[in-house]
Amino acid sequence: MSGCGIFNDPTKLGSARLTVRPGPPTTVATPGTLQLGKGLLLIPESYTHSVPMPLMVALHGGGGRATDSISFLGPYAEANGFLLLAADSHRSTWDGILGPFGPDVSNIDDLMERTFDRCAVDFTRIALEGFSDGAGEALGLGLANGDLFTHLIANSPGFIAPSDSPDIGSPKIFISHGREDGIISFDTTNEQIVPYLRQLGYSTVFVPFDGGHTVPADVASGAVNWFLNGTVPELSVRCPECAPSGSI
């Protein structure tokens, strides 16, 4: 169990394990944005059923919606050729933040199963991405399902949502955070989350930037390139006083 957070009842964390497993699609999907239950699936124009595509699962920030993730990450999915699955939280934010894990895990399980059923997915490149509250959820959920997610992208996290599930696998991790973030402390990420993950042995790239509670375009582009191509953004070396950047 990983944990860096504050919850309504820390004795009731819930299971973060997903039951879905990759498999060949049973239908032929066409490009476009599909409503899948409590979420949206963007299939880029470059998708062909015969060539498996990387998949990114996106978790919005607190108070946000799946449409936010599609609006922000959709252009990157189209330009770089990856499937984008954006989930809606069951309540105003994710269950791993409100505690315990539960309905949102079930929903993400269902959304991923529907995606695998429709699309040819490159199972060597499946990322779980999140912003703000979604970043804390992505880290907690991703570490408990490192046998499914190959990459975790956490933009401006404030914690790692803990669960009753043990960490499994060795996903690569990308974290970004603005030094002037007035919503979630940069110091928490720099001094606690990043060193904690590295101490556990996870390959962790940290990209600090000058800015607030946001994801600048060059940081988002860097995260996408890191996920798809294994390229560490040069931004990760711009903060020598921060926790040293990792390598992939």
Tokens 């988002």 belong to which residue? 220
Within-domain flag for 22: no
Q: In which domain, by residue range, is 83 found?
A: 32-237
Within-domain flag for 155: yes
CATH of residue 51's domain is: 3.40.50.1820
Q: What is the pLDDT of residue 240?
A: 45
Within-domain flag for 242: no
The DSSP bridge partners found for residue 152 are 128, 173
**Number of folded domains in the chain?**
1
Q: By percentage, how much of the chain surpasses pLDDT 90?
A: 85
- Residue 162 or 244, more confident: 162
- Mean pLDDT over 81-105 rounds to 94
Is the pTM here over 0.75, yes or no? yes
Within-domain flag for 25: no
Within-domain flag for 17: no
Within-domain flag for 247: no
| 3-12, 20-29, 38-47, 92-101, range with the lowest pLDDT | 3-12
Within-domain flag for 201: yes
The angle that helices 103-118 and 133-144 make with each other, rounded to 10 degrees, is 70
Residue 62 has pLDDT above 70, yes or no: yes
**Residues 161-209: tens digit of each pLDDT:** 999 999 999 999 999 999 999 999 999 999 999 999 999 999 999 999 9
The kind and range of the H/E element at 88 are: none
